[in-house]
Amino acid sequence: MVSEGEWRVPAAARPKPENYGYDLDAALASVVGLRAMIPSDALTAQTLGVERAGNGVLIRKDGVVLTIGYLITEAESIWMTLLDGRAVPGHVLAYDQESGFGLVQALEHLDVPTLSIGRSSDIAVGEAVVVAGAGGRSHSVAAQIAAKQEFAGYWEYVLDEAIFTAPAHPNWGGTALIGPEGDLLGVGSLQLEQTGERGRSEHLNMIVPIDLLPPILDDLLTFGRPNRPARPWLGLYATEIEDKIAIVGLAERGPAQCADLHAGDIVLAVAGAPVHKLSEFFRRIWSLGKAGIDVPLTIYRDGRTFDLRVPSGDRNRFLKRPRLH
């Protein structure tokens, strides 16, 4: 991701105050830039990098900033940049593996407006929204809701109903999805490409819906994670190839690697149940119980089929803990 000073949203794509029934500039001022430094020996350093930059949005007057969790996972230092250029240190409060949300606590007073939490279930496909990055209008996109549907990520992640917006924001991580009432409806996670009308490719942002936050917010603030059993984690990266599940990578020292799964393996079944979709594969694993259970897999490799049991783990136990300042 590029720094704020190196890019601008084209003027034609920026939101214009007269098109919204709320104070657009006040809402945009709640979005801050976020930069995190991660130790080189962290589990996620190889896949996500040791320097991560994106956005966050102030949701509480006491300095709690909501962002997308991968930006801050295993971070040893965090700095936030405000619209006036001031830099403020922060530390990781929480990261929820299931939703993908992360929380940062500012260590100085931010003196910016908070953005109220709305209801993402109320927004409909086709409605006008703003996807806001740190830096005001020139770093924000006037967009529409393109779709609301299931999303499965290769890193053992599923959303029942993700939000997709277009046109895409170029610095999407941690952006604020601002709805027609000027409230927060989601947080930006990814940029995806799809084939649109007439065979043209178009980019979309995948947004984590804000409705996933209120049920877990108190737990995140109190315990640093939801107060529920952790899902079984295998430490693998998978994708769909036709109607098959292919392993494309393994987390170093993770359960799957230790159980001798290989990149290139095809997963035919979980606990005897055939799997063909990525979301089906992950949900079947999670249905077996909590982290620590053995996960029976049927594997196809090099012309032969065999069964393999993977002792699952709690993903959080493989990650470096946040440092308190």
pLDDT over 90 at 302, yes or no:
yes
Which stretches within the chain are classed as H helix?
24-29, 45-48, 214-223, 255-258, 278-286
In sequence order, what are the residues at sequence separation of 6 or more whose Cβ sits closer than 8 angstroms to the Cβ of residue 13? 141, 142, 167
pLDDT over 90 at 6, yes or no:
no
Higher-confidence residue: 215 or 83? Answer: 215
pLDDT tens sequence across 173-221: 999 999 999 999 999 999 998 776 666 788 999 999 999 999 999 999 9
Contact 210, 216 (CB under 8 A): no
Alpha-carbon gap, residue 57 to 116, rounded angstroms? 10
Q: Give the pLDDT score at 325.
A: 47
Q: Give the pLDDT score at 2.
A: 41
Listed as own residue / partner, the contacts of 4-7 with beta carbons closer than 8 Å and 24 or more positions apart are 4/33, 4/81, 4/134, 4/135, 4/139, 7/139, 7/170, 7/171
pLDDT over 50 at 4, yes or no:
no
pLDDT over 70 at 5, yes or no:
no
Alpha-carbon gap, residue 59 to 39, rounded angstroms? 28
Which stretches within 130-224 are classed as H helix?
214-223
CA quadruple 44, 45, 49, 54: dihedral positive or negative? positive
Q: Give the pLDDT score at 3.
A: 44
pTM of the model: 0.94
Q: Give the pLDDT score at 90.
A: 97
Beta bridge partners of 151: 159
One-letter amino acid of 162 = A
In sequence order, what are the residues at sequence separation of 6 or more whose Cβ sits closer than 8 angstroms to the Cβ of residue 198? none
CA quadruple 124, 127, 131, 132: dihedral positive or negative? negative
Alpha-carbon gap, residue 91 to 89, rounded angstroms? 7
Q: Give the pLDDT score at 263.
A: 97
Name all domains of the chain by residue range, CATH numbers in brackets. 1-228 (2.40.10.120), 236-318 (2.30.42.10)
- Least confident among 26-30, 235-239, 318-322: 318-322
Q: Give the pLDDT score at 320.
A: 87
Other Cβ atoms less than 10 A from the Cβ of 161: the count is 14
Phi, psi of 136 (to 5 degrees): 80, -155
Nearest by Cα to 169 from 153, 152, 146: 146
Give the helix/strand (H/E) hosting 89: strand 87-95
pLDDT tens sequence across 248-299: 999 999 999 999 999 999 999 999 999 999 999 999 999 999 999 999 999 9
pLDDT over 60 at 165, yes or no:
yes
Q: Give the pLDDT score at 200.
A: 77
Q: What is the dihedral of CA 247, 160, 120, 93, to 10 degrees?
A: -50
User: In the chain, pLDDT over 90 holds for what percent of residues?
Assistant: 91
Calculate mean pLDDT across residues 116-141: 97
**Token digits for 270?**
């979980």
In sequence order, what are the residues at sequence separation of 6 or more whose Cβ sits closer than 8 angstroms to the Cβ of residue 289? 232
> Over the chain, what is the mean pLDDT?
94
pLDDT over 50 at 158, yes or no:
yes
Q: Give the pLDDT score at 323.
A: 59
**Token digits for 53?**
């930059």
